[in-house]
Amino acid sequence: MARARPYDFQGYAQRARPGSFHVIDRKTLAARASRRPRTRAAPFGVVILVLLISLFPARGWAAAYGTVSGVVRDGNNRPIAGAKVVLESVTHAIIERQTDSTGRFDFPSMAIGQYLLSISRRDFASFSQPVTVQAGYFPFVSIVLKPPSDLTEVTVTATRLPLVASITPITMVSQEDIENSPGATNVNSLAMITDYVPGAYQAHDMLHIRGGHQTNWLIDGVEIPNTNIAENLGPVLNPQDVDTLGIERGGYLADEGDRTYGIFNVIPKSGFSRDNQAELDLTGGNFAQTNDYFSVGSHTDDFAYYASVEGNRSDLGLQAPVAQVIHDETHGYGTFANLQYKPSQHDTVSLVAQLRQDVYQIPDCTVAVLAADPGCVGQFGDAQGEADNFAVLSWAHTFTNNAVLTSSFLYHFGRADYDGGAGDYPTITTYHHSSQYEGGEEQLKWDVSRNHLDAGVFGFAQQDRVDYNLAFTDGSSPTLSELERPTGGLIAAWVQDTFAVTHWLNLSAGVRQSHFQSSFTENATDPRLGATVQLPKLGWVLSAFWGKYYQAPPLETLSGPLVTYASANDTAFLPLHGERDTERLFGVTIPVMGWTIEADYFVTESTNFFDHNPLGESDIYLPITDQGALIEGRELTLRSPAFWPYGQVHLAYSNQTADCSGSITGGLVVAGTACGSPPVALDHDQRNTLNVGYDAKLPQQFFIGSNLSVNSGLSNGFAPPTHLPGYAVLDLTAGRNISHDLSVSITALNVTNRHLLTDNSLTFGGLHWNNPFQIYAELRYKFHY
């Protein structure tokens, strides 16, 4: 939490469900399908890499993958052998199988997203059906093929739990969803998350979800490690490079869960969806804003490439501390590539890489504004530069025994450099922090009878460089400088089994063992238990989960002259230890005429809850740990049918409390500060959050998109009242597809210009007003080369 009062060394005041499909004929199916969303390494690091390489080749696949299995029979319930089964994706290569002597087929390693399942054999009518693949799901369908004379109707029934039956609450967001959500394609936007996920919102320019801000980003199921908290403001990934985003927010199986509050599983765009095709996207609007993007992609039978470049700038970057937008320019650029090679039907090699650079001015308050609004803390010339670069190399081999070999190696570099301006008083703070990670991941997943076995290991080595400089413009002390080079690493191993007791009951049990080593060592054993039950006739699915999580701490520390100075001013920097969480979750999924309603209740109890404090008037976040935190919430999501003729509707609602209790146990500590007893609301606590979106395709190739966000208000910090006033923001977009390759649109964000103070925690730029009305035009053009 960024406290309501800042502290520094001087103590300044501060989803085609397969349950029952009815297919009339291939022509109807084809029409429907056409509307689908188209330093030097630390010794511990050496140990980690040796362990990972020694495990090669373990069998498995990453968390961004699911399975599709089934059996094909004729009208007399006899298995049909030798039938051709094709799983086709708009964005990935076509995969073909043949049914065996029992009529069975398996696709054990399919990336999450939308597919078309087709089955054909001579003397039988062909069958096709859209399918959604989600991580951790094990759908098994029974398909009946009939002679052509019986083509009136083909019925497909699921003999196991349907695709939406999962212990883990998951929100699937496609590239079409992103393009239809106003503002979501802007590189600095998080609308692809906040518009669709209950309890997800931005506070003090940071994404919060389910009451916390420790989240994981995965690329093709491989984690991009990042132990730092609340430092980087820039995007981890350009939304335009995302094909499918699977957002998990709890109930993780043992292969996941180092960052408790959200897992963002990205399947990037692939050249298999293009044939020597390029795409150009240009925008321009008020605040001199532009987001410009260019990509190319193509493929052969066994190789595909996709690459993009992007540049952006705006005079409206971070949320300003007052109504005026002052000293708030931002600009950045990035490049992204996804290379895939399929040397055989059973092997895939991929390389995904990114380079990103961003610069943010910290919004200033002029002297006149400061006089009119004393709550505005001015930062005169402060700026932050950032980098976020990564590369993931993976190899996957599919075995005929329903196992897949994957080996992934990763590299991640992140940097956040804060430079105070010459006008800062009484101190000018410089804080440069970079982190480098090297690691890998191996998994074993194997379907044995009704068991879905999963075992694996993940680890990384980390090297940080932290450079502090504190200059006193009031002459009260000489300049203080410090350079820290902490190192550390994490290795985690897990085993998990999901057992299909019957077609309506699944049980899951697993355990994750984590070992963290830096200046101290921590170990954690985290069991995970869950179950799903499908109610007969109703088709409702009930789920329950209990599990524990461990989150490795940041490596940040202070020593030397800064600690001496801090101690003399009743301030200290205590060692940071890992966060430990216990989660209970109960959910229900209800299908209604193609609509999907999901509701859940969760409780997360945390020890050493990761939070942050600003360093004086510098706007620098330094991590802290609160002794305890309790987060409790009720969530609801609703999605319209994938082919609903009236457009697409999505709703995400959360009623939630996020409280902390006890003392500050680590990080930047000021004497006499604590969460207190009884518990008090965290500064990012927002009780009610609602997002409702609707988009539709209109006659004459016109289209519209909208999202209404209703927020009850963040914790006040200066009670009473306990929370700031609520507010609503409406975003709209409208445009026209002039041709298959050319479209134009206009987007308006915060249409009613509901511009007010939404956060009074003094963090980046001081207080926070939400962004005012924005409008921009967009041109999107596709062409072949």
- Per DSSP (E only), the strands in 160-233 are 170-174, 200-203, 206-209, 215-219, 222-224
pLDDT tens, residue by residue, 505-540: 989 999 999 999 999 999 999 999 999 998 988 889
What average pLDDT does this structure show over 345-353?
Answer: 90
What are the φ/ψ torsions at residue 49 (nearest 5 degrees)?
A: -65, -40
Between residues 733 and 43, the one the model is more confident about: 733
At residue 280, the pLDDT reads: 98
Cα distance between residue 671 and residue 675, in whole Å? 13
Backbone Cα Rg of the chain: 26
Cα distance between residue 497 and residue 453, in whole Å? 5
Tell whether the torsion through CA atoms of 204, 210, 211 and 217 is positive or negative.
negative
Structure tokens at 713: 């208000």
Half-sphere exposure of 52 (CA within 13 A, CB side): 25
With b meaning 16 or more CB within 10 Å and e meaning fewer, what string describes 136-167? bbbbbbbbbbbeeeeeeebebebebbbbbbbb
At residue 664, the pLDDT reads: 86
Is the pLDDT reported for residue 682 higher than 70? Answer: yes
> How would you class 501 by CB atoms within 10 Å of its CB: exposed for 0-12, middle for 13-18, buried for 19 or more?
exposed
3-state secondary structure of 195: coil
Q: How confident is the model at residue 50 (pLDDT cuts 50, 70, 90)?
A: very low
What average pLDDT does this structure show over 169-186?
Answer: 92
Cα distance between residue 29 and residue 130, in whole Å? 9
pLDDT tens, residue by residue, 638-653: 999 876 778 899 999 9
- Per DSSP (E only), the strands in 518-647 are 521-534, 541-551, 571-574, 579-592, 595-614, 621-639
Percent of the chain at pLDDT exceeding 70: 81
Cα distance between residue 199 and residue 211, in whole Å? 8
Structure tokens at 320: 């300003």
Q: DSSP readout, 267-289?
A: EE--GGG-SSEEEEEEEEETTTB
Residues found in the chain:
785
What average pLDDT does this structure show over 173-190?
Answer: 93
Give residue 148's Cα distance to chain centre.
46
Between residues 345 and 380, the one the model is more confident about: 345
CA angle 664, 549, 452 (to 5 degrees): 175
What average pLDDT does this structure show over 42-63?
Answer: 42
Between residues 228 and 523, the one the model is more confident about: 523
Between residues 413 and 484, the one the model is more confident about: 413
Cα distance between residue 715 and residue 629, in whole Å? 15
In the DSSP assignment, the letter for residue 229 is -
What average pLDDT does this structure show over 15-37?
Answer: 33
Neighbours of 732 (CB within 10 A): 18
Q: How far is CA 539 from CA 129, 131, 153, 501, 650, in A?
A: 20, 18, 22, 17, 21
At residue 139, the pLDDT reads: 60
Q: How confident is the model at residue 618 (pLDDT cuts 50, 70, 90)?
A: low
Name the β-bridge partners of 295: 279, 308
> How would you class 78 by CB atoms within 10 Å of its CB: exposed for 0-12, middle for 13-18, buried for 19 or more?
exposed
What average pLDDT does this structure show over 2-21?
Answer: 31
| Range with the poorest average pLDDT among 45-49, 406-410, 727-731, 734-738 | 45-49
Look over the chain and give the mean of its residue pLDDT values, rounded to a whole number.
82
pLDDT tens, residue by residue, 560-617: 777 667 666 667 778 889 999 999 999 999 988 878 899 999 999 999 998 877 665 5
Looking only at the bridges linking them, the beta strands covering 65-73 and 140-144 are parallel
Q: How confident is the model at residue 719 (pLDDT cuts 50, 70, 90)?
A: low
In the DSSP assignment, the letter for residue 615 is B
3-state secondary structure of 179: helix
Q: Kindly report the pTM of this predicted structure.
A: 0.84
Cα distance between residue 202 and residue 148, in whole Å? 55
CB 650 within 8 A of CB 641: no
Cα distance between residue 701 and residue 15, in whole Å? 24
What average pLDDT does this structure show over 697-703?
Answer: 93
Cα distance between residue 263 and residue 218, in whole Å? 7
Percent of the chain at pLDDT exceeding 90: 46
CB 7 within 8 A of CB 616: yes
* Maximum pairwise Cα distance, the chain: 93
| Range with the poorest average pLDDT among 97-106, 187-196, 485-494 | 97-106
CB 415 within 8 A of CB 259: no
Of residues 414, 356, 362, the one with CA closest to residue 384:
362
Which distant-in-sequence residues (6+ apart) come within 8 Å of 749 by Cβ?
Answer: 182, 183, 729, 731, 771, 773, 774, 775
> How would you class 764 by CB atoms within 10 Å of its CB: exposed for 0-12, middle for 13-18, buried for 19 or more?
buried
Q: How confident is the model at residue 32 (pLDDT cuts 50, 70, 90)?
A: very low
3-state secondary structure of 170: strand
pLDDT tens, residue by residue, 373-431: 555 554 567 889 999 999 999 988 877 667 777 899 999 999 999 898 877 777 788 88
In the DSSP assignment, the letter for residue 718 is S
CB 272 within 8 A of CB 222: no
Of residues 390, 112, 61, the one with CA closest to residue 238:
390
